Each structure stands twice: as structure tokens, then as C-alpha cells.
Amino acid sequence: MHKVAIVGRPNVGKSSLFNRLVGRREAVVADFPGVTRDAKEGVMLYQNHRIVLIDTGGLWSGDEWEEAIRQKAEWAMEGAQCVIFVLDPRDDLSAADYEVAEWLRRLGKPVIVVANKIDNPKHDAYLAELWGLGFGEPLPVSAEHARGLDDLMDRVLDYLPEDDADVPEVAPIRISLIGRPNVGKSSLLNAITGSERVIVSDVPGTTRDSVDVEWDYAGQRFVLVDTAGIRKRPDTSIEEYAMMRSEAAITRSDVILLVLNVTELGDHELKLANLAYDSGKPVIVVVNKWDLVPDEDLKKAEKDLDQKLFHIAFAPRVYTSAINEYGIHDLLAEAMKLYAKWQSRIPTSELNRWLGVWQMRQRVPNFHGKQLKMYFMTQAETAPPTFVIFANRADYVTRSYENFLHNRIREDLQLAGIPVKIVWKEKGPYKKGKKGEADDE
């Protein structure tokens, strides 16, 4: 797969151009600089070329993030076939623009100069100054109005090698890291990948958008998604949008890592766990910064976690430390195991054997002498596993009996830690043409 990086000083429209090229709103866009800090990847298809497009933070920003953003941009350009250098030519070129140009010359990558925000051919006169940067003919584009994008991509294709024949790829497992701000999600992602892929800081809210990182482990492809910290109440519009992006990342993921700080637990973590679990995704509770707990307090800390996380006791728990990489391999092994269970399908014959056992183990509900009768059980879907039970009366099913069945499915069918759904369908003389559905809790 080919790789192309987008760079430039702050607020020239890099993220807008990135979103327009990948065809969806992947990166957060705002009218003020400094929103993008990490390097964000997106895959686009153009004339049968699969291209990894990388949006980078604003270079030479003059703030405390300047050095970290430059380092991540340099990482983004490792292996890149070319670089799209975005400028806003409506004002004179700034000192930061010349600094970026000189930096690109030192890196020695092919550079395509893009004059963004040129909404009308009458504005092409702004391009004259850009010739002086020494990278050849500048291209006028408008990310907002989709002007000049085909010309830009045709120029990009000049630097891409011919694609080989299509090779089937193993679908990656998408894993999202969620949690409140400053619990160590970015540090944990860097520890998992063994690199400094995302910016880490003690300042809460450093990560302001979901960042996808592709990675291979033990022959399995992963997409690790570092999300912005989810607050109870966002303070700004950027935080509110970042929270929406984090929730969208949950929906698109296969496995959720709920990252906790052992010293900071509350109702917020339970709400986040339920948000992930209600979406039908397996959840792993990751107790990060475990190395900060003194040895003599470990048992007390575990007991405290058991009490505070009682309502999500179904979720497997892994203790980690991003500093010394403790628990990282256990975490990945647990994620692969849960993903396999989440995708599993159980034969109908086995389900009906267990259905008979469960009816003998626990008395079925009885209403005024009329008993719930369950005739047949089958699995309708995977991811999450969804089971259909045919019964005489769906309205006879009580919450407690449904909870019993959920527990039995998890335990007897080896689906511990997996959200499952039960769908009730009526069959027989009492059938009323309706069905009841209950989501796992």
C-alpha cells in the first residue's frame, strides 16, 4: 500500500483536504490552529491505487507542542512516496512556511505544493509567490469546494510505483482505547506498538481526535485506535466533537479497551463500559499504571476494583503498565481470544441440547398455571452472537429468567466476556405475530 503525507503550518486546511480526499470526515476541523496534533491515517482508493493518506499537525506552530508535532510528522514521512505541502497563499508566505519548506528540502522527499482555499480561477494570481519555494508548479485547490482534487491526485500518481496484483488481506482487528482524559491511553498504545506513534503528555486533552494506528502482532493485523479522553461534560466545542468521534470509534471497533487509572475510579467508568457493551462489542478492562500500586497494597487495590466494577464483572480484566510494558502481551492475547469468541458460531444441535439442560436446571416462569415453553434455539448472527429462541409466549419471559439464560450462554457455551443477544419468537397456538428482544446487560 502506498503512503502519502500532508504537511504545512497550522490552519492552512490540511485536515479539510485530508477529509475531502478520503471521502469522509475522519479528522477534526476547526477555524483556529492547533486542533490536529498527532499523525492521523486514512485509506483512500484512487484509480485502483490503495493509498494511506496521513494528516499531520501544524508545523512550526510556536507553541509547546511544536517539537512533538514535528517528530510525529517526520515519522509520518518514513516510507512516504511523496509529500503534499499545503499553503494558504491568500496572505504573504510566513516565516513558518519557509521553515517548513527548508525542512522538507533536508528530508529529500518529493514535494507537491498545494495552494489551498483557491475557490475561484480568478484567485490563481496568488500562486506566483509559491514558485519561489523551489518545488515546481503549485497546484490551486479548494478542499471546501472540491476544486482541483483530480489534478492533485494525478500529480501524486506520478510518484507511485505500479501496484502488484491484488493480494487478499486478512481483515484487521479494530481495537479502540477509551477512557477519561489522562489515564494513559496514548502511552499504552505506544507501549503496545513499541514506538512513539502518538503524542504523550501530562496535560489532559492532549489527544483531540481518534488516531488509527495499523500494526501487526503474531501474524495478526490490528488497527489500534487512540481516542480522545471522554469527559462527563465537554468544556469546549472541540472536546464535544472529539467525544462524538470517540463514540463513533466504539461503533466501528471489534474490541474495546476501557483504560482505567487504578487511583481514579467512579461512575464515569461504568457509563463508558456500558456504552461500549451496549454497542455489542467485547470489553476488556485495562487497569493501567499498576506499577504505581505498592506491593503491600495490591490485594486491597484488587478488592476495591472488584467492588467498584461489580456491575461490569463480566468483562475480563488485565493489569498493565505502559512504563515497563507489564501485561502488554496478556492484553493482546485476551483481545484476540475475545475477538474469536465474538465471531464464533455454535451448532444448532449443541444449542438445543443445552436448552434442555437449562430448563431442567432452573424452573421456567409460570403465569396463572400457564408455563413458558421453549421449543427450539438457533444462532442467527455473530458479532455479537445473537440467539433466537422459539417459545409459546414471549411475554412470559421474566427479567430474572432472561438473566439466567444470559449467564448460562456465557458460561456453558464458553462465551465469557462476550455480549450476547437473545431474540424471542412465538410459535404455536399462542403466537400473536410479534417478537420480543432483549439485549444483554
> Any idea which residue has 490536529 for its cell?
36
Cβ–Cβ under 8 Å, residues 42 and 213:
no
Cβ–Cβ under 8 Å, residues 56 and 76:
yes
Give the bridge partners for 285, in sequence order: 258, 317
Cβ–Cβ under 8 Å, residues 131 and 87:
no
d(CA 31, CA 56): 16
Give the bridge partners for 381, in sequence order: 386
Residue 396 phi/psi, 5° resolution?
-85, -10
- Residue stretches of the annotated binding site for GTP: 8-15, 55-59, 116-119, 179-186, 226-230, 288-291
Cβ–Cβ under 8 Å, residues 396 and 430:
no
- Residue stretches of the annotated binding site: 8-15, 55-59, 116-119, 179-186, 226-230, 288-291
Strands 370-371, 366-367: pairing kind = antiparallel
Q: Order of strands across the sheet with 111-115?
A: 40-46, 49-55, 2-7, 82-87, 111-115, 139-140
Question: Residue 73 has which C-alpha cell?
Answer: 510528522
Q: Order of strands across the sheet with 317-319?
A: 211-217, 220-226, 173-178, 255-261, 283-288, 317-319
Q: Within 10 A of 90 (CB to CB), how many other CB atoms are there?
A: 12
d(CA 259, CA 190): 14
Q: In which element (H, E) is residue 283 found?
A: strand 283-288
Cβ–Cβ under 8 Å, residues 417 and 312:
no
CA nearest to 16, candidates 3, 6, 4, 29: 29
Give the bridge partners for 15, in sequence order: none
